């Protein structure tokens, strides 16, 4: 299908689950986000948030790099933008659907997962507007306090609590 095409939820869920199954051995954590997580009837793309595993490299094992199995699997897909070694890459799945793959860390998982679950309007007008109101800002995938201290957000529920927003189920996030 062409860019901007919509797919039935059931089809998108199958493709998303396939991605998760294939990448899970190479990830510390991986979850479906976006409109699939929100259970929308029609889905424009698949969003996955993951924490890829790393391996030790360097002469003394003092450096790390993304697990080669993760990189190889992602690189099998047609690339639109980004690299599997970065924080984000967009790929095209076998049915023509776009895959947006977001790489998080344990300290920003909750922030990235909440934002990427969306909707874009909910993330912008409810979450981001509230953290700005409280004196925070987001930079490089992290939540930052007004004194430039990084605030770890390890779970999505922590973000809601920090912002003083009651929990909203994904399917209810407009």
DSSP class of residue 49?
Answer: E
Q: Closest Cα to residue 108, out of 166, 168, 162?
A: 162
Q: How far apart are CA 140 and CA 12, in angstroms?
A: 29
Give the bridge partners for 143, in sequence order: 138, 151
Which pLDDT band, with edges at 50, 70 and 90, does 5 fall under? confident
Is 7-103 a domain of CATH 3.30.460.10?
Answer: yes
Calculate mean pLDDT across residues 12-28.
98
CATH number for the region 109-172 comes to: 3.30.210.10
Do 7-103 and 109-172 agree at the fold level?
no
Cα–Cα distances (Å) from 166 to 106, 114, 145, 149, 161, in that order, read: 23, 13, 21, 25, 7
Question: Is residue 22's pLDDT more than 50?
Answer: yes
Which pLDDT band, with edges at 50, 70 and 90, does 3 fall under? low
Tokens 């039935």 identify what position? 8
Calculate mean pLDDT across residues 13-42.
98
Q: How far apart are CA 42 and CA 81, in angstroms?
A: 24
Report the chain's mean pLDDT, rounded to a whole number.
95
37, burial (CB in 10 Å: exposed 0-12, middle 13-18, buried 19+): buried
pLDDT given at position 1? 44
Q: How far apart are CA 44 and CA 29, in angstroms?
A: 24
Question: Is residue 51's pLDDT more than 90?
Answer: yes
Question: Is residue 9's pLDDT more than 90?
Answer: yes
> Would you list the domain boundaries of the chain?
7-103, 109-172
The H-or-E segment that residue 8 falls in is strand 7-8
* Side-by-side strand order, sheet with 98-103: 27-32, 45-52, 98-103, 88-92, 78-82
């Amino acid at each position: 299908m062409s860019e901007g095409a919509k797919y039935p939820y059931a089809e998108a869920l199958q493709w998303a689950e396939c991605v998760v199954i294939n990448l899970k051995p190479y990830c510390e954590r991986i979850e479906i986000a976006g409109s699939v997580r929100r259970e929308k009837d029609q889905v424009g793309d698949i969003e996955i948030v993951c924490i890829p595993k790393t391996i030790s490299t360097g002469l003394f094992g003092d450096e790390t790099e993304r697990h080669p199995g993760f990189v190889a699997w992602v690189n099998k897909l047609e690339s639109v933008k980004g690299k599997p070694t970065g924080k984000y890459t967009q790929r095209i799945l076998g049915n023509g659907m776009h895959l947006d793959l977001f790489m998080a860390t344990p300290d920003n998982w909750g922030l990235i997962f909440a934002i990427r679950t969306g909707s874009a309007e909910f993330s912008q007008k409810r979450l981001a507007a509230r953290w700005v109101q409280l004196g925070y800002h987001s930079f490089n995938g992290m939540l930052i306090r007004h004194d430039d201290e990084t605030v770890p957000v390890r779970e999505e529920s922590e973000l809601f609590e920090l912002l003083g927003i009651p929990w909203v189920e994904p399917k209810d996030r407009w």
